[in-house]
Copies of this chain bind each other. A is one copy, B any other.
Amino acid sequence: MKFGGTSVADAERIKRAARRIVERREGGAHVVAVLSARGKTTDELIAMAEEVSAAPDAREMDMLLSTGERISCALCAMAIKDLGHHAISLTGSQAGIVTDASHTRARILDVRADRIKAALEEDHIVLVAGFQGVSTATQDVTTLGRGGSDTTAVAVAAALAAEVCEIYTDVAGVFSADPRVVPDARKLAAVTFEEMLEMAASGAGVLQLRSVEYARNHGVRIHCRSSFDDTPGTVVVQEGENMDHAERPLITAVTHSTSEAMITLLGVHHQPGVAASIFEALAEAGVDVDMIDQNRPTGGELAEISFTVPREHLREARAALAPLTGELFSELRAYEEIGKVSIVGAGMRSHPGVAAKVFKVLAAEGLNIDMISTSPIKISCVIPRERVESVVRALHAAFELSGPDTIREEEPVRASRTE
C-alpha cells in the first residue's frame, strides 16, 4: 500500500491511512506501506536549502529531503500502534533499498528485503519511507527524484512477490481524460502497462513513469485507487490479462499536458551528425526532450528541427544551444504557449484510420497542428495552449469515451483480482 503526500498531509489523514492499513491487515493480508512526505514538506525543505545555499549540494539535498518520508512513517507507525497492531517504520536504507550514487535522481539497483521479511514474519505492519535509498558504494542516503515513492512501492512489491501494489492517491483511479477537464470522463477498470506508460508520458499524473516501467519489467500488479473511499480504482495489467478484447475500445484515454514548451531551430545544416550534436548538447545539460520533428524544405540545403521540452528546462535548453548558433543552425525560436493533446489506446494497433479521425476533429476545431508524434498506441499533437481543454473534450466525445462505465463507479471491477 502506497500513500502519497496528500494522503498523509495532516494528523487526521495519517490516522485515516493507519485505519486503512489496519483494515487490510485484519482482512488477512500482510501489509507493507510506503509513505511519501506529508503534503508540502518536500517543497518546504527545498525552500530551506535555497535560503541557505545558492546551489545546494546534491548529497546534502538528499540527506535533507529524505527526512520528510521518515516523519510520515514514524507518525503513521504511532497511529497504527494506537489501533492495537504492531508496526515498525524503516528508512529506505533500513528497508534495503539499494540505489546507485546519483544523488537527487538515484535508480534502484536492488531491494534487500530481509529486514522487511523478518518484520512481517513477526506479524508487524511495516512502514517504509518512500523516495529514498542508500548507495552501497558510498553509504550515503540517496533520493529517487519526484514521484519516487511510487517506484519504492513497486520495487518493494516486486522484492516481496506481493499479490498487488496498491497506490492510494487523491483521485479515484485512471480516467479516460482528466475529470477536471472532461466532467463525464470514465474511470477505467483496467489499463495495460503500455497504455499506462504512454499516458504517464503524455500528461496523466496519476502514476510516475518510472514506477510503471519498473512494474512492467518485474511483473508487479498495480492497483491505483482513492485514499478517501473503498471503491476499486484502476488495475494496471499485462496486455491480454483480464481484459475483455471483444469489448476493447479503440481508444482508452485522451491525455493532455500544458507544461511543455516547443523550440524550433531554423537554418539547420542538413548534414550527418548535426542533429546528434544538437541533442547531445541538450542531454548533457540535463534537458528532457520529448517530441522531435524534422523537416527539410524541398530541394533546400537547410532544414528545420522542432522539439518539445518541459517548460522549466527551457532556460537550460537555450543556454546549451547558444554556443551552436551560427555554427549548426541559424536561429532558435521558442514557443512557450503550446500544449499537447494525446490519444492513447492499445486498440489502435489493429485499427487503421485513428490518426485521420484525430486530424478531422482538430480541423473541425479550426486548428493547425504544430507538431505530431506517434507510437503504435499513441498519437500526440502540439497545439496552442489555450485550445487544449476544448480539444480534449472534442476528442473524448468523438471517440465516445464517456460510455456507460461513467455511471458505474459503485460497481466492483469485474476483471480485478486485487481484493
Contact = CB atoms under 8 A, between A and B. Distances in A.
Interface stretch (A61-69, A147-155, A299-307, A372-380): A61-69
A71 B79 contact: no
Contacts of A59: 77, 88
Nearest to A64: B74
Interface stretch (A23-31, A49-57, A288-296): A49-57
Contact of A75 (B52, B66, B91, B94): B52
Contacts of A55: 82
Contact of A52 (B60, B66, B78, B139): B78
A11 interface: yes
Given A11-B52, A48-B75, A70 B81 contact: no
B49 A78 contact: yes
Given A63-B89, A64-B71, A67-B70, A77 B57 contact: yes
Interface in A109-162: 115, 139, 141
Interface residues of A, number: 39
Contacts of A60: 74-75, 77-78, 81, 87, 89
A53 B70 contact: no
Given A52-B14, A53-B79, A71 B89 contact: no
Contacts of A79: 52-53
A136 to B, nearest CB: 13
A216 interface: no
A45 interface: yes
Copies in the complex: 2
Contacts of A74: 49, 60-61, 63-64
A383 interface: no
Contacts of A73: 63
A88 to B, nearest CB: 7
Contacts of A88: 59
Contacts of A53: 75, 78-79, 81-82
Contacts of A139: 94, 115
A221 interface: no
Contacts of A76: 52
A60 to B, nearest CB: 4
A15 interface: yes
Given A82-B53, A82-B54, A70 B75 contact: no
A73 B52 CA distance: 12
A244 to B, nearest CB: 44
A49 B87 CA distance: 15
Contacts of A54: 82
Contact of A48 (B11, B45, B67, B82): B11
Nearest to A81: B57
A52, A57, A66, A89 pick with most chain B CB within 10 angstroms: A52
A57 B78 contact: yes
A63 B70 CA distance: 7
Contacts of A94: 139
Contacts of A115: 139
A38 to B, nearest CB: 9
A55 B82 CA distance: 8
Contacts of A11: 48, 51-52
Given A53-B75, A91-B141, 4 more contacts: A53-B82, A56-B78, A60-B89, A63-B70
14 contacts: A15-B52, A48-B71, A52-B76, A52-B82, A53-B81, A56-B78, A57-B78, A57-B87, A60-B75, A60-B77, A61-B78, A63-B73, A64-B75, A67-B70
Interface of A: 11, 14-15, 45, 48-49, 51-57, 59-61, 63-64, 66-67, 70-71, 73-79, 81-82, 87-89, 91, 94, 115, 139, 141
Q: Which 4 residue pairs across A and B have the least CB separation, nearest first?
A: A67-B67, A11-B51, A64-B74, A53-B78
